[in-house]
Structure 1
Amino acid sequence: MTFRGGGPLATGNVSGGGGGGRGKLAIGGGAGLLIVIVAALFGFDPNLLDLGSDGTGSTSSSQEQSAIDEQIAGCTIEKANTDTVCRIVATTNSLDAVWSDIMPGYEPPKTIIFEGSVNTACGPATSDVGPFYCPGDQTAYFDPSFFNVLSDRLGGGDGPLAQEYVVAHEYGHHIEYLTGALQQGQRMGAAGPTSGSVRIELQADCLAGVWAYHADKGPDAMLEPLTQQQINDVIKTAKAIGDDAIGGDASNPEGWTHGSSDQRVRWFNIGYTSGDQNSCNTFEAATL
């Protein structure tokens, strides 16, 4: 069990399916399947979300979207402890509560849960891309089947908090969008050990840690007190999705887009131990 209490979940910012046209570059990454990493795993051209298309790619079928919307509408806190879709919804509730409390001017993103493929303001995407955030529509996108890939293929944790960490990482990109860090990173290069992309991704890991620090504290906290085993599950996941682990080539940091396993663990821990958003400034850090 991760979530405490009972009753319905807020679902106003969560829906099934998706839509939109061409737009800005999407930021991926809860699991690190992005650009070079996507190409290495799935064997296609490393251009995120096929941005060269007309932006009208296939979407989840209306039947699939309707089924997901029905599932979302029926989500409760109790179901979030056993159902992946409801766990995503509950995590967004917790994230919105935490960030609204600690960040002045916070505005929640939207979340879309899809199966197979989806159309976004950043272009069409499939499940192969993994979870991602699109600044063009300020929306985080998740295919629940990815969590099986995370644990079965990538060697990440299969516990609830590991999945919640992925959601929190994508929300981290939204925080970066609100602060301007996302835009700053996009001007600093897409690959390399000190690139803007790596700094963006490591900052999102740190912000996920900040959420985890606050998520089980206070009388209105949605999470049960976190255990060391749950944190270890997150660390296992962060290690599994570092560029050196997922790409299989630690000797070529010039191709990195997300940072090494050790870096991802380090920055999550910085956020988790401090609980301070200001500790996550990867752009000013002397060492990543």
Structure 2
Amino acid sequence: MSFNENVTLDTSQVRSGGGGRGAPGGLVVGGGLGGIVITILLMVLGIDPSQIPTGGGQLDTGQVQAGGDQEADAFAECDTGADANRSDVCRVIGTVNSVQAFWAGELPRYKREWRSTQTVLYDGATQSACGTASNQVGPFYCPLDQTVYIDASFFELLSSQYGADDGALAQEYVVAHEYGHALQDQLGLLSRAQQDPQGAESGSVRTELMADCLAGVWAQHASQTPDEDTQTPFLKPLTQSDIDSALSAASAVGDDRIQEATTGRVNPESWTHGSAAARQQWFMRGFQSGDLNQCDTFAVASVYE
């Protein structure tokens, strides 16, 4: 899904995170695309993931935010949609801009207002209020500091190790999914994942599939969502290739796909994100309907129907 070349990117919505190995931390809160790998490995080792601390506390702002001129320099190359088409970092920024502009315009229909949510783009590892962020954990939304964390190198990992293709919408889907969690947090729904954290029909799975559906809703409207400066839509209309790209990413991070690859067996009782087929199904439900109301995964008897 390509950006219109002349749109303006707003880098103020993204902060630069620290690099390096980072300090030890707990599991992320709010779900992510890569956090499932950590959960599975803990189970293989006989460790109950629910007993791992979430690593709360104050942020090390020296690591998380560069600030001032350093902050401006970190994203100096990201000015326009043309930059977003050539750079993963700029593509993340453009997608953050697009997703936030969409929800800011959509939520007033439901008498709600979107609260602007920052993304931290980091290299290697950095600290969040939910613990250490790294590409081994994957992108995630941390409700303790209401921030999305993304290491842009995760996209190469998503393709080379998870089996997703390297298309633009695969990457944009990842960003939109995490902002789906931010929306759930703003609507008071995110805590349901922690109350029922495992199982094929668990609250955790339903929360993750809802975020997939919300990403699909955004994708349906993305080519009509304009940037504030030029009033040109951020993104060009989707092609079938774009949709296939998003579906490849959704499938690659299904619980069954990752369990089969890491343990050689599939155990639905330990699922936290849903099957590959369900992740594709709910993304398409959001995309085909374009309707927030169609994403209520807690209203259906089974999320696999």
Q: Aligning the two structures, in what range does the TM-score lie when normalised by the shorter sequence? A: 0.7 to 0.9
2:13/2:97 contact within 8 Å kept: no
Task: Show CA shifts across 1:32-69 (max 9, x none).
Answer: 64542464899998579963587778985998x98775
| Structure 2 SS opposite 1:155 | coil
Match of 1:161 in 2: 169
Task: Show CA shifts across 1:234-272 (max 9, x none).
Answer: 111111110000111664100100000010000000000
Determine if the alignment matches structure 1 residue 252 to structure 2 residue 267.
yes
Give the letter aligned to residue 188 of structure 2.
G
For residues 61 and 89 of structure 1, do their structure 2 counterparts lie closer, same or farther at Cα, with a shift above 3 Å needed? closer
Q: Distance in 2 between matches of 1:275 and 1:55?
A: 38
Q: What are the equivalent positions in structure 2 for 1:33-52 lying under 5 Å apart?
A: 33=36, 35-37=38-40, 39=42, 46=49, 51=54
Q: Which moved more, 1:119-128 or 1:252-261?
A: 119-128
Aligned sequence identity (%) = 44
Please tell me the root mean square deviation across aligned C-alpha atoms, in Å.
Answer: 3.3
TM-score (norm 1): 0.87
Match of 1:280 in 2: 295
1:133/1:174 contact within 8 Å kept: yes
* Aligned residues between the structures: 285
| Structure 2 SS opposite 1:51 | coil
Q: Which moved more, 1:221-230 or 1:242-251?
A: 242-251
Match of 1:216 in 2: 223
1:24/1:134 contact within 8 Å kept: no
For residues 68 and 283 of structure 1, do their structure 2 counterparts lie closer, same or farther at Cα, with a shift above 3 Å needed? same
Q: Distance in 2 between matches of 1:115 and 1:41?
A: 28
Match of 1:126 in 2: 134
Give the letter aligned to residue 90 of structure 2.
C
Match of 1:232 in 2: 244
Q: Distance in 1 between matches of 2:36 and 2:93?
A: 22
Match of 2:192 in 1: 184
> Any gaps of 5 or more consecutive residues in structure 1?
none
Match of 1:103 in 2: 107
Q: Distance in 2 between matches of 1:83 and 1:221?
A: 19
Q: Distance in 1 between matches of 2:44 and 2:94?
A: 30
Q: Distance in 1 between matches of 2:14 and 2:92?
A: 9
Q: Which moved more, 1:42-51 or 1:195-204?
A: 42-51
- Please report how far the alpha carbon of residue 124 of structure 1 lies from its aligned counterpart in structure 2 after TM superposition: 2.6
Match of 1:3 in 2: 3
